[in-house]
Structure 1
Amino acid sequence: MQQLTAIITGASEGLGKSFAIELAKRNINLLLIALPGSGLADLTSYIRKNFNVRADHLEMDLTCTESYPMIFGYMKKRNMTAHLLINNAGLGNWSWFEDKGIGFYKTQIELNVITPVLLTRLFLEQADSAVTSYILNVGSLGGLFVVPKKQVYGATKSFIRYFTKCLQMELSGSNVRISLLSPGGINTKPELLVLNNTLKGISKATILEAEDVARIAIDGLLKGKKEIVPGALNKLMVLLNSILPGFVKDMIVKGQLKTILKS
């Protein structure tokens, strides 16, 4: 059986790192992508030493359009074909809209929207039609719910939701499986861990560990699930969102906003 190869963006830490280790455990070769100076070389070395897979890495800024062809050019020179694409790289924030400059939002939109779209296009161009290929787009429940202080981030994840669902229809009947991962909060960085530990009640109960989300996501991807929502409580929230009237959801969001303003 042919050994598969996966491209993972934003692979140096957090969920991306957990994806890399999870796929290595499943005997899948890796091409890891992240910013220069992010510790990607150390992760690649660790995977090579501890798992029976090939692991390569490229350090680049994915907001630069010329970076995308470089990834597939690198693979072509080495006679490699990508069978999985994990569009994980992204930039989040928790701030009022006016607290960030236009440079931040430009970068956020480029990384969260333009990068997965163009990488997906190039991935499909080189995919082997005789082998099942997989695309995992990392969205967020923030793309489904209105969340104060995540205005642009949530909008980019709404885009990813729409983009993924359209592609699922276009690619139906082909040998390409595309899944949308819609997680709630994830403990991915020390600062997020501190923030998440201050949460209470339902908000805290929705937080999951990165390695658990990665395992659930890859299981769902390989099974061909169209949308993967890790965590029973998060699944319940998605269900409630589909049945609650709009005015009730608006009341809930306004209540959250009042709590944020007081804090």
Structure 2
Amino acid sequence: MKNTVLITGASEGLGKSFAIESAKRGLDLVLISLPDSGLEHLANYLRINFNCCVFCIGIDLTQSNSAEEIFAIICKNQIKITVLINNAGLGNWSWFEEKSNDFYKTQIALNITNTVLLTKLFLNHIDKKQPSYILNVGSLGGHFIVPKKQVYGATKSFIGYFTRCLQLELSGTNVNISLLSPGGINTKPELLVMNNSLKGFAKATILEADYVANAAISGLFKGKREIIPGFANRFLLVLDKIIPSFFKEIIIRRKLKAILSV
């Protein structure tokens, strides 16, 4: 049976790279993004260049019933999903008090609630006798304390915990679940400008979206439990486990002082 992958946040950035990488591998696609976000243009490109079936759903994932609506549309069109990529998310780089309550409600709904509900519906949708796959997009930020990413990092920590629990609950089944924990990714022009200003080891942790998508999907089909693209990012995680907590707090406080003095 040919695999069909559902990708959220598919119109740009890492989600778009996931769509292209999946099409290259011969998968059919269901692409999810906001209405009028260019999904059909991407879908036509994929159909022409990779001869795959592409179905688009334009929907606001922060709406409370969006997950149910997506699977109602899928069932109505008799589409059988075998791969779920929970990619959609909202980040920020700001002090906690700078953002509004509505921003945090949206961030939590998109990063956490949407992922949980889509995963639940996907597990109800699949035939567990056949191989199926879930890729949850977390972040290295979910492993570290990062000032100015307080809520974003917390949502990604949630995704990590949620994914690891599911891996244990579904062990011994044909459902393969992977956690993607990337570092910085060049996904938007403003990020590209900011990342280009980095130097040394910090610059080495930044990766291109196409590279991350390739590593993630390869790792998913190989059954990797956690996928951390890039040697520098894997080294950072090892270093974090070695350095004592009190010393890491000193480093973070010094970094905060540097930020405040700018």
- Alignment: residue pair count: 262
Q: Does 2:103 correspond to 1:104?
A: yes
- Pairwise mapping of residues 22-33 of structure 1 onto structure 2 (< 5 A)? 22-33=21-32
CA deviation after TM superposition for structure 1 residue 65, in Å = 2.0
- Aligned amino acid, residue 153 of structure 2: G
Structure 2 counterpart of 1:254: 253
C-alpha separation in 2, matches of 1:102 and 1:249: 30
> 1:127 offset after TM fit, Å?
0.7
How does the TM-score come out when normalised to structure 2? 0.98
Letter in 1 for 2:254: G
**Per-residue CA distance 1:57-114 (angstroms, 9 max, x = gap):** 1000001121111211122122211110000000000011111110000100000000
Task: Give 1:241 deviation, angstroms.
Answer: 1.1
Structure 1 counterpart of 2:146, which letter? V
- Structure 1, unaligned runs of 5 or more: none
Partner of 2:224: 225
For the residues of structure 2 that align with 1:153 and 1:195, how far apart are their CA atoms? 18
Return the alpha-carbon distance in structure 1 between the equivalents of residues 251 and 176 of structure 2: 36
SS of aligned partner of 1:212: helix
User: Which segment is superposed worse, 184-193 or 122-131?
Assistant: 122-131
Q: Which residue identity is paired with 1:185?
A: G
Return 78-87 or 103-112, whichever deviates more: 78-87
- Letter in structure 2 aligned against 1:17: K
CA-based RMSD of the aligned residues comes to 0.9
SS of the residue corresponding to residue 11 of structure 2 reads coil
For structure 2, list consecutive stretches of 5 or more residues without a partner in the other structure.
none
Rounded to whole Å, the distance in 1 between the matches of 2:259 and 2:127 is 49
Corresponding residue of 2:44: 45
Secondary structure at the aligned position of 1:137 is classed as strand
Measure the CA separation in 1 of the matches of 2:187 and 2:253: 28
Provide the TM-score with structure 1 as the length reference: 0.98
| Runs of 4+ residues over 4 Å off in structure 1 | none
- Match of 1:57, SS state, is strand
CA deviation vs aligned residue, 1:30-56 (integer Å, no higher than 9, x gap): 000001121111111111111121001
> Is the counterpart of residue 191 in structure 1 residue 194 in structure 2?
no
